[in-house]
A = this chain, B = another copy of it.
Amino acid sequence: MVSLKDIAKQAGVSVCAVSLVLNGKYKNRVSDTTAQHIRETAASLHYEPNMLARTLKTNKSHTLGFVTDEIITTPSAVRIMLGAQEAARKLGYILISMNTNNDKSLERQEIATLKRYHADGFLYAFMYHRVVDVPSALRSMPTVVVDAEDANHDLPSIYPDEFGIGYDATNRLIKAGCRRIAYFGSESGIIAQPQRLAGYRKALHDAGMNDDPQLIVRATEHQNADERAVELLKVAAPDGVFCFNDVRASSIYAAANELGMRIGKDISIVSVDNLPNITDALRPGLTTIELPHYEMGFEAVCQLVAMIEQRDKPDIKPDQMFRSSFDTKDTFTTVHGSIIERDSVQHAPHGNE
């Protein structure tokens, strides 16, 4: 590997001059001609700076630790990592990811490793939105919580705007002319459940519609969801259903088929997730709200770097279409999802067909 010393020798100057020039700090310190000469020599030798040596001296590694629970299980959650990677690259950082597999002792070990490698800050990320206790080893470091909320309301946390998702999804159905809109939710204690439900209620209320309790049904995936879906369609006779997620939407599809209801005609459906394997399989295409995972990872790195470098949040954007919008209040940031329009919502209001 070629070092500053090699360049200095070849160019006939001191190591210090080379360092100054290559870091662009040579104003009034090195003549422009010498600087140019140094730059050319460096290029001709294919010089690459040694980040480790630099870190040793400056105490800045430009390395971010990405600690996650088991991000694998939801393919879309992997996008948090990809978004974080893109932002890191654009800001001159690298990401070191570690998977804790929900093992607290492994987590401690991994955070210690990351510190040994001198990570400047941490992303603490989760597979789905929840409230988390952040390990104390992270509290002393710049840290941003992703797809989760710090239980202490202390660290910046980025997570989806679940209320907004429920509100938007329901409104989409209202806009399509639906008059009896059901909510097909989750039976688990997941944080998104009550928030999406609240958004649903607010949308109904704003439209002057009452929320008939018959229209609200909760179910568990791969267990009672198929039967509950049939019951919901039979008993409450909705003309629109906001589904907690795509998996539950597929139960509603099955129920509608069973009862001879035409999706996108007799009944409109909007859900959340946009999981390829599911949306690929459903006919007609499922209109669904994609959670902004990529954007959350990207935004989290921007906020983290701002903390580390004690500067304003960098003004960069993902190369991918930036579909979502951000709301920032205090240190918390919620991220809107974006609706993917397909054909499960009827195109014209009732009576226009």
Question: A-side interface residues toward B, CB under 8 Å?
Answer: 48-53, 55-56, 61, 63, 72, 75, 78-79, 81-82, 85, 89, 94-99, 110, 112-113, 115-118, 221-222, 247, 250, 275, 277-278, 280-281
Contact = CB atoms under 8 A, between A and B. Distances in A.
Contacts of A56: 50, 52-53, 56
Nearest to A277: B277
B85 A118 contact: no
A143 to B, nearest CB: 18
A337 to B, nearest CB: 18
A294 to B, nearest CB: 10
Contacts of A112: 48
B48 A52 contact: no
Contact of A95 (B50, B63, B96, B116): B96
Contacts of A118: 50-52
Contacts of A95: 96-97
Given A48-B115, A53-B56, A89-B110, 17 more contacts: A51-B117, A51-B118, A52-B55, A52-B56, A52-B118, A56-B56, A72-B78, A75-B78, A81-B97, A85-B97, A89-B98, A89-B113, A94-B98, A94-B117, A221-B280, A250-B281, A277-B277
Nearest to A275: B277
A61 B52 contact: yes
Contacts of A75: 72, 75, 78
30 contacts: A48-B112, A48-B116, A50-B56, A50-B116, A50-B118, A51-B116, A51-B117, A52-B52, A52-B55, A52-B56, A52-B117, A52-B118, A56-B56, A72-B75, A72-B79, A75-B75, A75-B78, A78-B78, A81-B97, A82-B99, A89-B98, A89-B110, A94-B96, A97-B97, A222-B280, A247-B277, A247-B280, A250-B281, A277-B277, A277-B278
Contacts of A281: 250, 278, 281
Contacts of A221: 280
A1 B85 CA distance: 28
A277 B50 CA distance: 45
B72 A82 contact: yes
| A-B pairs with lowest CB-CB distance, top 5 | A75-B75, A277-B277, A52-B52, A72-B78, A51-B116
A96 B96 contact: yes
A55 B116 CA distance: 12
Given A118-B51, A280-B222, A113 B85 contact: no
Nearest to A112: B48
A61 B61 CA distance: 14
> Quick one: which of A53, A94, A95, A222 has the most chain B CB within 10 A?
A94
A222 B279 CA distance: 11
Contact of A99 (B72, B85, B99, B222): B85
A49 B336 CA distance: 42
> Quick one: which of A50, A51, A115, A277 has the most chain B CB within 10 A?
A277
A96 B247 CA distance: 33
Contacts of A115: 48
Contacts of A52: 52, 55-56, 61, 117-118
